[in-house]
Structure 1
Amino acid sequence: MDSDESDFYGDDEIVADLESRVASFDVSQWWEERNAAAASISVMDRKVKKEPLDSTKLHNPYAGVPYAWQLTETVNDFLGRLPPETTEHSERLPWIFVCNPYIRRKDRFNAQNQRSRGNEDEAPEEEGSRLDTLIEGGSERLDILLNYKQGLEKTTKSKAMQAKLLRQEQEDATRDIMGLAHMCKIKAGKASWMLFCQPKDVNEVWNVIARATANNELGIAAKVAPWNPYTDPTGRKDRIVCVYTADFSDMADVTRVLRRLRELKLVEAMGRPIYYKPGS
């Protein structure tokens, strides 16, 4: 071992602390330890006879949300009720939503993301998801990363080597958190294809996306930004449309949604780039 490697973490105390914390962090073990109660409940649930899920039944996680499509109205009525070009943004109308009624998701009013600032208006949650567990575990893993960085800065390693090793640890932390997110069934979140269009085109674009989403052709849900007269008094700023995918790690499905958007002439025909925002 060269001198750089020998003083990587600093003194023996830092070595013992950081190596034990980083090396011992096991996502699967973390999940098991903190969900013993949930596992017990799961066993009890299996003892209860459940009715088979009716695959023909439609589901709407936005039921009762006034700025979302309702199963009690046609898609045409919904589009006429909330045209994004002229519908005004407000605290009570931050976005306009449409769900894929063929994919069951947690009711919005019972979703944990409604208690997570910045996530209230993202993709509808999967049944059985544990956002609170992800936040707790993710925060703990980030604390380990921070301690690692602080210990690294106390060493005599070159700045270039520190940067290289920190990047590796950041990649490891990202992989751990993504793995935890998957086990917590937080696989959608902010994951979406994002399109930008001019105000004069937003109604047409949204009409196509809303119909395709409601017809089970795209992702699990979609949203469009209404007109905000405070930040865009002239109504000339581009509008964003987000098409949520079911699982950010499922590249086949992510690609399928993009392919369908192209078939619907919503990518190249618009003359605007399209972006994918991964992550939960």
Structure 2
Amino acid sequence: MEILWISDLDQILSDDSSFYGNLHQHPADITPGDENEKNRLSQHAASFDPEPYWSGIHPNLLSTIQNGLRAPLISSNPEEELQSESADQPETTAIPKTQRGRKEHISHFLSRLPPSKTLFSDIGPWIWTFGPTSKAQLDQDVPAFLRKGTDLLRAFETQSAELRAEHDKSGAKTTARLTRKLNPLRHSLEQDILHAARETGVVYGKWMLFPGARDVDNVWKKVVVALDKGELGDGAKVATNDLSDKARLICVYTKDFGDKEDVKRVLKSMVAVGLVDVQDRPIYYKCDAFTHLDITSKNEYGLKASMFSSRDVLSGKV
């Protein structure tokens, strides 16, 4: 079986890749504290709507789904329950719509929600499964992290805009000096975001796989089986079918991006079960904190979207 990867993913996310783009193409061009900035912030505060978080982000958080699985599943319709004599479901429970049930047999789960055929329009973006010892991190405060993280990003935008303005006024013909000034700011921004994530308990991270649409069921099965045996991390999710031919994302979660030994253990298990080929392109590990802040591979802040690659971890660089 050959896993199809997103085109040039390793180049986009690799340590050698440039994430800085054109230093002169940046939207932040206002002076901090002026009337335009005050008006912008006032309008932003007045238009703030918490509904997108509670309707779009909160229900799909790993901890939210885990916590829901810990509660008794009750069905108001007896026809929706599985009978105790069923070989695939030995216990009478309601079937979770988007994830594997607590006692649901693997074969039943995979046939009920095959990622190749389960439509985005029917259940949403993800199918979930969890390990036998998985516990929800109920102390994480995503709203607080989003506030802190957004403030950090805005402060960086202001500082970088000032540096760009100084650079333009100097008439310098190259951007080398500007780059030398911006790089420490980027490093500080990254560390401050991770510190804010630690303070608010937003410490989940994930190894990311991108199997092709034809291979996603087989790859997902390997993940589910290994997770059920306790060989991987806290949980995993796979993207549902959005009727496109693009590669599907599978995330294999670990409980703490700062626990490098656990991150490495999970990666080695993925190699052992055939999910990662050390001779092939590397895979990448990303913290949930960057996901919540929508920091992708081509973000405007020049941050690396991933924390490290499988190649770096297995070679001992991490």
TM-score bracket, normalised by the shorter chain, equals 0.5 to 0.7
Deviations 1:26-76 (A, max 9, x none): xxxxxxxxxxxxxxxxxxxxxxxxxxxxxxxxx943536411011142222
**One-letter amino acid of the structure 2 residue matched with residue 172 of structure 1:** S
Q: Which residue matches 1:249?
A: 258
Partners of 2:146 and 2:185 in 1: how far apart? 19
Partners of 1:212 and 1:99 in 2: how far apart? 11
Q: Which residue matches 1:151?
A: 162
Contact 1:60 1:70 in 2 (8 A): no
Q: For structure 2, list consecutive stretches of 5 or more residues without a partner in the other structure.
A: 1-30, 34-64, 74-95, 290-318
Partners of 1:212 and 1:181 in 2: how far apart? 28
Which of these residues, 164, 186, 189, is aligned with residue 202 of structure 2?
A: 186
1:206 Cα deviation after fit = 1.3
Contact 2:156 2:189 in 1 (8 A): yes
Partners of 2:213 and 2:281 in 1: how far apart? 13
1:131 Cα deviation after fit = 1.2
Q: Which residue matches 2:277?
A: 268
Contact 2:203 2:287 in 1 (8 A): no
Partners of 2:68 and 2:197 in 1: how far apart? 23
Partners of 1:100 and 1:181 in 2: how far apart? 23
How many residues align? The count is: 198
Answering whether residue 248 of structure 2 is matched by residue 239 of structure 1, we say yes
Pair 239,271 (structure 1): closer, same or farther in 2 beyond 3 Å: farther
Q: Mean Cα displacement is larger for which, 146-155 or 251-260?
A: 146-155
Output the aligned Cα RMSD: 2.8
Pair 196,249 (structure 1): closer, same or farther in 2 beyond 3 Å: same
Identity of matched residues, %: 30
Q: Which residue matches 1:86?
A: 117
1:269 Cα deviation after fit = 8.7
Partners of 1:200 and 1:174 in 2: how far apart? 36
Answering whether residue 175 of structure 2 is matched by residue 175 of structure 1, we say no
Pair 174,270 (structure 1): closer, same or farther in 2 beyond 3 Å: closer
Q: For structure 1, list consecutive stretches of 5 or more residues without a partner in the other structure.
A: 1-13, 18-58, 106-125
